[in-house]
Chain A
Amino acid sequence: MRDRRYADDELLSLSGIQHFCFCRRQWALIHVERQWEDNLRTTEGHFLHERVDDPFFSESRGDVVISRAFPLVSYTLGFYGVADVIEYIRSEDGIVLPGYEGLWRIHPVEYKRGKPKIDERDEVQLCAQAMCLEEMFAVGVETGDFYYNEIRRRVPLRLTNELRERVVSLSEEMHDHFRKGITPAAESSKNCTYCSLVDVCMPKLTQKKISVERYVRKHVRDACANDI
C-alpha cells in the first residue's frame, strides 16, 4: 500500500486531467474558475454518457461482468471520479469478485465521443483511472480500452511505466495550480476553435500587447482633444 498523500478535501476531479493535458487554462477555467459552457461537442458527450452512466445497470456475458459508472478514488494521485465501464474478465490471475464465482481481472473502458486523439489527453485519463483501480483493489491493471463513438470501435491501451509517470507528474502540477488558484495565460492555437470555453477564456485577451492604461488614455486624450 502506497502512502496516503492527499486528504479528502484535496481530491481533484479525475476527468480534469484530460483538460489539463489539452490546455492548462481550460482546466483552470473549469475547475478553478468554475466556468463551464456547453457546445455541440460537450452536449454530444453528455448524450453518449447518459447511456453509459447508469450505475444500476450491470450485466454479465459469460466470462465478462460489466459494471457501469464505477466510482473511483486515489489518495496517492489525489483524484476522484467515475469510470464509464469496468469490465471484470474471468482470468486465473484475477481477484475474487463478491457474488461471482471464480477469479476476475479488472479492465476499465472509457467512452469517448470523437475519435482517437493525436495527443495523450485520453491516454492519461484512462491510465489515471487504472491507477485508481489498482489502489482501490490492490491489484495490477495492465490494459484498458477506449470506445470511440465516431469510429464505433474499441482501441486498446497498454499502461506503460512512461504513461504512469506522466500521470503522476500531471497530477502534481494540477494540485500545485489548484492550491495557488492560478489561471494560466492562454496559448492561442487552432484548438481554441473547438473549445467550448473560448468565449469565457478570451485567449486573445491574455496575449494582448496594448495595455489597458494606454487604451483608456488614448480615449480620454481623443475626447479632450476633439471639439464636438
Chain B
Amino acid sequence: MRKLLNTLYVTTPESYLLRDGENVVVKVNSEERFRIPIHNLEGIVCLGYMGASPQLMRLCADNNVGLSFLTPSGRFLARVHGRVRGNVLLRRTQYRVADNAGESVNIARCFIIGKIVNCRTVLGRSLRDHGDAIRCDTIRSVDALLIENLQSIDDCTNSDSLRGIEGNCAKFYFGALDELILKQKDDFFITERNRRPPRDNMNALLSFLYTLLAHDVESALETVGLDPYVGFFHTDRPGRPGLALDLMEELRPFMADRLALNLVNLKQVKGSDFVRKENGGVLMTDTGKKEILGAWQKRKQDPITHPYLKEKIPVGLIPYVQAMLLARFLRGDIDGYPPFFMN
C-alpha cells in the first residue's frame, strides 16, 4: 500500500513558508524555525494568515503536495495545486453519473449506509466499554431508530428521500452523542449539531476535526483524478466540494467523532482550550488547536485492516483508499463502491 506521508500544519500566523532546494522552510520574523524535505510531506495546511513564496508553491505543485490556506478558525480559504491530475475519461464518467439521478443515488446510498452503520458502531463501542456509566436505554432507542432507517435505505430510489433518511439519522445520532461524553460534562455537551459558528465547545471541536478530514478527503480525490466538487449526494453549489462531502459521510464517525470523544474523555482537551465570543460562537485557542492537531496526526498513524481490501493500512490512508475504490468503480474495475465500515 501507498506510504502515509505527513501533513505539515503551520499554526503561527507570523510564519512565512519558502523553498530551499528540496526543502520546505518555515520562517518566523526572518528566523528559520523548521525545515523538512518535501518528499516527506503529503500536504501543508496553513491555519491563520501567513505567506508562502511562489517558489514554494511550485515545489508543492511539482511534488503533488497540497498547500491549503485556512482562516485561524479553520475555515477553508484557498488551496494551491498543480496541473489537474488523472484521466479525463474518469472525470467525464463522474459527471455523467452525477447527472444521472438513478446512478447517483445508487452510489449515494453506499455513502449513507456506511455512515449509519459507522454511527451505530460508535454508539455500540461506548455502550460496551462504558455501559455502567451511561444511560443505555437512550442509546438503545436511538440505535433502534438508526436500524429502522438503515433498512429503509434499500427501497430508497430517489435522493430526496435519501437526504431525509440521512437528516433523521444525523439528528438521532447527535442527540445520543451527549451520552457518550463521560468526563468534563460541564464544559462539553452537545444537544444538536450546529456550525457557523459552532455554539458550544463540542461543536467547535467537531467542526475543527471535520475541516481537517475535509482537507484530507479533497486531496485524496484529487490524487486519484476525481473532481472533488461534483458529488452524487450533495448537489452542486459553487465553492462546495460536493464529492468530498459525500465521501466524508461514511468517514466522519470513525475518523472525527470517535477522536473527539476520546480527546474529551481522556481530558486531552479542556474547557480552557475554547473561548466563547459575544455572538455566542465558540473559538478554539492556539494551544487547543495544537493539541488536536497532534492527536489527529497520531491517530492517522494507527494501523487498521481495511474491511474490503483486507489489507493493513494506517488510518490516514482511508480517504485515499476510498477515493481510489470510487475511481476504480467508476472505471469499471469493480461492480460497486464499497464503503468503509469500521469495526
* Cβ-defined contact, B308 with A34, below 8 A: no
A211/B336 contact (C-beta < 8 A), A219-B117, A228-B140 known: yes
* Cβ-defined contact, B2 with A211, below 8 A: no
- How far, in whole Å, are A43 and B127 apart by their CA atoms in the complex? 51
* Cβ-defined contact, A35 with B307, below 8 A: no
* Cβ-defined contact, B328 with A202, below 8 A: yes
- Please pick, from B140, B143, B333, the residue contacting A185 in the complex, using a CB distance under 8 A: B333
- Please pick, from A185, A199, A202, A223, the residue contacting B150 in the complex, using a CB distance under 8 A: A223
Please indicate the chain A residues that have their CB under 8 angstroms from the CB of B335 in the complex: 211-213
13 of the cross-chain contacts (CB-CB < 8 Å) are A32-B87, A33-B86, A185-B333, A199-B1, A202-B309, A204-B309, A205-B328, A212-B329, A212-B335, A213-B335, A213-B336, A216-B338, A219-B113
* Cβ-defined contact, B225 with A228, below 8 A: no
Chain A 171-223 residues near chain B, CB threshold 8 A? 181, 183, 185, 199-200, 202, 204-206, 208, 211-213, 215-216, 219-220, 223
* Cβ-defined contact, B87 with A34, below 8 A: yes
* Cβ-defined contact, B127 with A228, below 8 A: yes
* Cβ-defined contact, B225 with A35, below 8 A: yes
* Cβ-defined contact, A224 with B336, below 8 A: no
* Cβ-defined contact, A228 with B2, below 8 A: no
* Cβ-defined contact, A34 with B225, below 8 A: yes
A181, A211, A226, A228: residue with the most chain B Cβ atoms closer than 10 Å:
A228
The reply to whether the CB of B90 lies closer than 8 angstroms to some CB of chain A is yes
Q: How far is the CB of A36 from chain B (nearest CB, A)?
A: 9
> How many interface residues does chain A have, given as a range?
20 to 34
Q: Which residue of A lies closest to B84 (CB)?
A: A34
- How far, in whole Å, are A140 and B128 apart by their CA atoms in the complex? 78
Other A-B contacts than A35-B85, A183-B331, A228-B123, 13 sampled, CB-CB below 8 A, are A32-B89, A33-B90, A34-B85, A183-B333, A199-B1, A200-B224, A200-B324, A205-B328, A205-B334, A212-B334, A215-B338, A223-B121, A224-B150
- Please pick, from A35, A37, A223, the residue contacting B147 in the complex, using a CB distance under 8 A: A223
Q: Which residue of B lies closest to A206 (CB)?
A: B333
> How many interface residues does chain B have, given as a range?
35 or more
* Cβ-defined contact, B334 with A208, below 8 A: yes
* Cβ-defined contact, B338 with A212, below 8 A: yes
* Cβ-defined contact, B338 with A199, below 8 A: no
Please indicate the chain B residues that have their CB under 8 angstroms from the CB of A35 in the complex: 85-87, 224-225
* Cβ-defined contact, A181 with B89, below 8 A: yes
- How far, in whole Å, are A205 and B325 apart by their CA atoms in the complex? 9
- How far, in whole Å, are A84 and B245 apart by their CA atoms in the complex? 47
The reply to whether the CB of B172 lies closer than 8 angstroms to some CB of chain A is no
Q: Which residue of A lies closest to B146 (CB)?
A: A223
The reply to whether the CB of B208 lies closer than 8 angstroms to some CB of chain A is no
Q: How far is the CB of A208 from chain B (nearest CB, A)?
A: 7
Q: 1/0 contact trace for B182-193 toward A, CB 8 Å?
A: 000000000000
A219/B143 contact (C-beta < 8 A), A34-B86, A205-B333 known: no
Q: How far is the CB of B280 from chain A (nearest CB, A)?
A: 35
- How far, in whole Å, are A204 and B328 apart by their CA atoms in the complex? 12
Q: Which residue of A lies closest to B310 (CB)?
A: A204
* Cβ-defined contact, B309 with A205, below 8 A: yes
* Cβ-defined contact, A212 with B337, below 8 A: yes
- How far, in whole Å, are A37 and B337 apart by their CA atoms in the complex? 24
Q: Which residue of B lies closest to A185 (CB)?
A: B333
Q: How far is the CB of B256 from chain A (nearest CB, A)?
A: 20
- How far, in whole Å, are A185 and B333 apart by their CA atoms in the complex? 7
- How far, in whole Å, are A216 and B115 apart by their CA atoms in the complex? 12
Chain B 183-230 residues near chain A, CB threshold 8 A? 224-225
- How far, in whole Å, are A199 and B306 apart by their CA atoms in the complex? 14
Please indicate the chain B residues that have their CB under 8 angstroms from the CB of A223 in the complex: 116-117, 120-121, 147, 150
Chain A 26-72 residues near chain B, CB threshold 8 A? 32-35, 37
The reply to whether the CB of B124 lies closer than 8 angstroms to some CB of chain A is yes
* Cβ-defined contact, A216 with B86, below 8 A: no
A199/B2 contact (C-beta < 8 A), A205-B334, A206-B334, A224-B151 known: yes
Please indicate the chain A residues that have their CB under 8 angstroms from the CB of B143 in the complex: 228
